[in-house]
Amino acid sequence: MPAKRRLTMRQLRQMLRLAGSGTSSREIAVVLGIARSTVQDNLRRAAAIGLSWPLPGELTDDALENKLFARNGVKQGARRRAEPNWADLAVELKKPGVTLLILWEEYRGSHPDGYGYSRYVAAKFMLRKPFSFSGVWPSLGP
């Protein structure tokens, strides 16, 4: 699979110029030597923020990049959905008759836009303490 790289600002500006003159996505892709889906994605991004050719004269390359690629309002590493209190869930799961499905249904009742069941279960098991491998591997020394 090819490595993902962002287009240069020159390519983005040329893409917007060509699209503004009525050139098809396929033709733009050929001219720029990139995939048609990349052209379509970037044109969709530009349309979503109201950018079209000609671009405003005061729009610098940095400003253009920030407008097109910044995830406004989402900090790096921030959770997009409400996290359950995993410590409380661990305690609840030890009670007889309590299952992950029951706990997830309660969680979704209070957080309708929260994690789906499969992600909820996966997160529960990913947060377990890792196994300790100390002393398990044989010594490779002399």
pLDDT (0 to 100) of residue 81: 77
pLDDT tens digit sequence for 33-73: 999 999 999 999 889 888 888 888 888 888 888 888 776 55
Q: Which class for 121: exposed (0-12), middle (13-18), buried (19 or more C-beta within 10 A)?
A: middle
Residues ≥6 apart with Cβ < 8 Å to 123: 86, 115
Torsion of CA 103, 125, 73, 4, to 10 degrees: -140
For residue 27 the two structure tokens come to 């033709």
Give the confidence band of 26 by pLDDT, cuts at 50, 70, 90. very high
HSE-up of residue 118 (Cα within 13 Å, Cβ side): 0
